[in-house]
Amino acid sequence: MSIYKEVIGEEFFQLHPMLQKRYQFPFEAKGIMSHIQGGPKWLFPLFYIATNWKLLFPERGENIPFSIKNIPLKGPEDEEQIYWERVFHFGSKKRFFNAKMSLDPNRMIIKDYLGEPSLFYSDLTMSVLSDGSLQIDSKDQKLVLGRFEVSLPKMLQGLACVKERYLEDQECFHISVAVTNPLIGTVFAYEGEFRSHEVTPVHPCS
Protein backbone atom coordinates (compact mmCIF):
# COMPACT_ATOMS: atom_id res chain seq x y z
CA MET A 1 0.00 0.00 0.00
CA SER A 2 1.22 3.50 -0.83
CA ILE A 3 2.36 5.42 2.26
CA TYR A 4 0.14 8.30 1.10
CA LYS A 5 -2.90 6.07 0.71
CA GLU A 6 -2.24 4.73 4.20
CA VAL A 7 -1.93 8.15 5.85
CA ILE A 8 -4.98 9.61 4.06
CA GLY A 9 -7.15 6.59 4.81
CA GLU A 10 -10.59 6.13 3.27
CA GLU A 11 -10.60 9.71 2.00
CA PHE A 12 -7.95 8.63 -0.52
CA PHE A 13 -10.78 7.30 -2.69
CA GLN A 14 -12.34 10.78 -2.77
CA LEU A 15 -9.32 12.06 -4.69
CA HIS A 16 -9.70 12.53 -8.43
CA PRO A 17 -8.92 9.12 -10.04
CA MET A 18 -5.85 10.54 -11.75
CA LEU A 19 -4.50 11.78 -8.41
CA GLN A 20 -5.11 8.34 -6.95
CA LYS A 21 -3.03 6.94 -9.79
CA ARG A 22 -0.42 9.68 -9.40
CA TYR A 23 0.19 8.65 -5.77
CA GLN A 24 0.88 5.04 -6.72
CA PHE A 25 4.50 4.48 -7.66
CA PRO A 26 6.78 4.74 -9.57
CA PHE A 27 5.68 8.00 -11.24
CA GLU A 28 7.39 10.27 -13.78
CA ALA A 29 6.18 13.45 -15.45
CA LYS A 30 7.28 16.57 -17.29
CA GLY A 31 5.74 19.99 -17.60
CA ILE A 32 6.15 23.73 -17.24
CA MET A 33 6.19 25.89 -14.13
CA SER A 34 4.41 29.09 -15.17
CA HIS A 35 6.31 31.01 -12.53
CA ILE A 36 8.91 30.48 -9.82
CA GLN A 37 9.21 33.32 -7.32
CA GLY A 38 9.67 34.40 -3.74
CA GLY A 39 12.00 35.64 -1.07
CA PRO A 40 13.93 38.89 -0.58
CA LYS A 41 17.22 39.11 -2.46
CA TRP A 42 19.25 38.98 0.75
CA LEU A 43 18.18 35.32 1.03
CA PHE A 44 19.67 34.41 -2.37
CA PRO A 45 23.15 33.56 -1.00
CA LEU A 46 21.49 31.02 1.31
CA PHE A 47 19.49 29.62 -1.62
CA TYR A 48 22.70 29.33 -3.63
CA ILE A 49 24.46 27.47 -0.80
CA ALA A 50 21.42 25.16 -0.56
CA THR A 51 22.04 24.00 -4.15
CA ASN A 52 24.87 21.89 -2.70
CA TRP A 53 22.17 19.82 -0.97
CA LYS A 54 19.81 19.81 -4.00
CA LEU A 55 17.36 21.67 -1.81
CA LEU A 56 16.66 25.26 -2.93
CA PHE A 57 18.05 27.62 -5.57
CA PRO A 58 18.24 31.38 -6.22
CA GLU A 59 16.93 31.40 -9.81
CA ARG A 60 13.46 32.78 -10.51
CA GLY A 61 11.48 33.09 -13.72
CA GLU A 62 8.51 32.17 -15.87
CA ASN A 63 7.74 29.17 -18.09
CA ILE A 64 10.46 26.99 -16.58
CA PRO A 65 10.64 23.36 -17.84
CA PHE A 66 10.14 20.93 -15.00
CA SER A 67 10.43 17.19 -14.44
CA ILE A 68 9.55 14.97 -11.50
CA LYS A 69 10.31 11.39 -10.53
CA ASN A 70 8.86 9.49 -7.57
CA ILE A 71 10.69 6.22 -6.94
CA PRO A 72 10.00 3.68 -4.14
CA LEU A 73 13.03 2.77 -2.04
CA LYS A 74 13.82 0.66 1.01
CA GLY A 75 15.24 2.53 3.99
CA PRO A 76 16.62 1.30 7.33
CA GLU A 77 14.94 -1.90 8.56
CA ASP A 78 13.08 -2.18 5.22
CA GLU A 79 11.20 1.08 5.82
CA GLU A 80 9.22 2.04 2.73
CA GLN A 81 10.47 5.34 1.34
CA ILE A 82 9.50 7.45 -1.65
CA TYR A 83 12.29 9.41 -3.34
CA TRP A 84 11.22 12.73 -4.88
CA GLU A 85 13.44 14.18 -7.58
CA ARG A 86 12.15 17.58 -8.76
CA VAL A 87 14.25 19.23 -11.47
CA PHE A 88 13.85 22.79 -12.76
CA HIS A 89 15.60 23.58 -16.04
CA PHE A 90 16.96 27.13 -16.34
CA GLY A 91 18.48 26.90 -19.82
CA SER A 92 21.35 24.40 -19.55
CA LYS A 93 21.39 24.70 -15.76
CA LYS A 94 19.52 22.17 -13.62
CA ARG A 95 18.25 23.01 -10.15
CA PHE A 96 16.78 20.48 -7.73
CA PHE A 97 14.27 20.35 -4.89
CA ASN A 98 14.66 16.76 -3.70
CA ALA A 99 13.39 14.77 -0.74
CA LYS A 100 12.84 11.34 0.77
CA MET A 101 9.52 10.61 2.44
CA SER A 102 8.32 7.80 4.66
CA LEU A 103 5.43 7.01 7.00
CA ASP A 104 5.35 7.49 10.76
CA PRO A 105 2.71 4.85 11.61
CA ASN A 106 2.38 5.95 15.24
CA ARG A 107 1.50 9.57 14.49
CA MET A 108 0.09 8.84 11.00
CA ILE A 109 2.03 11.62 9.34
CA ILE A 110 4.53 11.66 6.48
CA LYS A 111 8.17 12.18 7.43
CA ASP A 112 9.81 14.48 4.88
CA TYR A 113 13.62 14.68 4.71
CA LEU A 114 14.61 17.51 2.38
CA GLY A 115 17.87 17.71 0.46
CA GLU A 116 20.69 15.32 -0.48
CA PRO A 117 22.06 14.63 2.05
CA SER A 118 19.09 15.65 4.17
CA LEU A 119 19.41 19.14 5.62
CA PHE A 120 15.86 19.74 6.91
CA TYR A 121 13.09 17.55 8.26
CA SER A 122 9.38 18.34 8.28
CA ASP A 123 6.18 16.60 9.37
CA LEU A 124 3.62 16.50 6.55
CA THR A 125 -0.16 16.19 6.76
CA MET A 126 -2.34 15.37 3.77
CA SER A 127 -6.00 16.15 3.20
CA VAL A 128 -8.51 15.67 0.39
CA LEU A 129 -10.45 18.79 -0.61
CA SER A 130 -14.11 18.88 -1.67
CA ASP A 131 -13.23 19.09 -5.38
CA GLY A 132 -11.08 15.93 -5.25
CA SER A 133 -7.77 17.79 -5.11
CA LEU A 134 -5.00 17.14 -2.59
CA GLN A 135 -3.50 19.53 -0.04
CA ILE A 136 -0.20 18.86 1.72
CA ASP A 137 0.89 20.99 4.68
CA SER A 138 4.19 20.97 6.50
CA LYS A 139 4.20 21.23 10.29
CA ASP A 140 7.05 21.01 12.80
CA GLN A 141 10.50 21.31 11.26
CA LYS A 142 14.00 20.36 12.30
CA LEU A 143 17.53 21.06 11.16
CA VAL A 144 19.34 17.80 10.34
CA LEU A 145 22.97 17.70 11.45
CA GLY A 146 24.22 14.23 10.59
CA ARG A 147 22.61 11.85 13.08
CA PHE A 148 21.17 14.73 15.11
CA GLU A 149 17.94 16.64 14.53
CA VAL A 150 17.46 20.06 16.14
CA SER A 151 13.94 21.49 16.43
CA LEU A 152 13.59 24.92 14.82
CA PRO A 153 11.65 27.75 16.49
CA LYS A 154 8.56 28.86 14.57
CA MET A 155 10.24 32.11 13.55
CA LEU A 156 12.89 30.16 11.61
CA GLN A 157 10.61 27.66 9.92
CA GLY A 158 9.59 27.73 6.28
CA LEU A 159 6.19 26.04 6.19
CA ALA A 160 4.95 24.67 2.88
CA CYS A 161 1.43 24.40 1.49
CA VAL A 162 1.10 22.24 -1.62
CA LYS A 163 -2.07 21.87 -3.67
CA GLU A 164 -2.44 19.38 -6.51
CA ARG A 165 -5.43 18.86 -8.78
CA TYR A 166 -6.17 17.27 -12.11
CA LEU A 167 -7.35 19.44 -15.02
CA GLU A 168 -9.58 17.21 -17.13
CA ASP A 169 -9.94 19.69 -19.99
CA GLN A 170 -6.16 19.82 -20.42
CA GLU A 171 -5.46 16.24 -19.29
CA CYS A 172 -2.71 17.34 -16.94
CA PHE A 173 -1.90 17.90 -13.28
CA HIS A 174 -1.77 21.37 -11.77
CA ILE A 175 0.40 22.13 -8.76
CA SER A 176 0.97 25.18 -6.59
CA VAL A 177 3.60 25.32 -3.85
CA ALA A 178 4.14 28.15 -1.37
CA VAL A 179 6.76 28.15 1.39
CA THR A 180 6.20 30.92 3.93
CA ASN A 181 7.84 32.24 7.08
CA PRO A 182 6.11 34.27 9.84
CA LEU A 183 8.63 37.10 9.54
CA ILE A 184 9.57 37.10 5.85
CA GLY A 185 6.34 36.05 4.20
CA THR A 186 6.79 34.07 0.98
CA VAL A 187 10.20 32.38 0.92
CA PHE A 188 9.73 30.28 -2.21
CA ALA A 189 6.81 29.49 -4.50
CA TYR A 190 6.02 27.93 -7.84
CA GLU A 191 2.97 27.00 -9.87
CA GLY A 192 2.43 25.08 -13.08
CA GLU A 193 1.28 21.94 -14.89
CA PHE A 194 2.75 18.56 -15.74
CA ARG A 195 1.75 15.38 -17.55
CA SER A 196 2.58 11.83 -16.53
CA HIS A 197 4.55 9.71 -18.95
CA GLU A 198 1.78 7.11 -18.62
CA VAL A 199 -1.10 9.52 -19.34
CA THR A 200 -0.06 11.20 -22.56
CA PRO A 201 3.13 11.69 -24.57
CA VAL A 202 5.50 13.95 -22.63
CA HIS A 203 5.06 17.63 -23.48
CA PRO A 204 4.15 20.68 -21.42
CA CYS A 205 0.56 21.71 -20.93
CA SER A 206 -0.45 24.43 -23.34
The pLDDT tens digits of the residues spanning 96-148 come to 999 999 999 999 999 999 999 999 999 999 999 999 999 999 999 999 998 89
Q: Which CATH number goes with the domain that contains 134?
A: 2.40.128
Domain count for the chain, please give it.
1
Per-residue pLDDT for 45 more than 70? yes
Domain membership of residue 117 (yes or no) is: yes
Give the start-end residues of each E strand in 79-197.
Answer: 80-90, 93-96, 99-104, 109-114, 120-128, 134-145, 148-151, 159-167, 172-181, 185-196
Domain membership of residue 135 (yes or no) is: yes
> Confidence class of residue 95 from pLDDT cuts 50, 70 and 90?
very high
Domain membership of residue 163 (yes or no) is: yes
Q: What is the pTM of this model?
A: 0.91
Query: What pLDDT does 198 receive?
Result: 58
> How far is Cα 45 from Cα 39, in angstroms, rounded to an integer?
11
Domain membership of residue 206 (yes or no) is: no
The pLDDT tens digits of the residues spanning 144-158 come to 998 899 999 999 999
> Confidence class of residue 197 from pLDDT cuts 50, 70 and 90?
confident
Q: What angle do CA 161, 165, 169 make, to 5 degrees?
A: 150
Domain membership of residue 106 (yes or no) is: yes
Domain membership of residue 132 (yes or no) is: yes
Phi and psi at residue 15, to the nearest 5°: -65, 155
Domain membership of residue 177 (yes or no) is: yes
Q: Which domain holds residue 31?
A: 3-196
151-179: average pLDDT: 96
Domain membership of residue 203 (yes or no) is: no
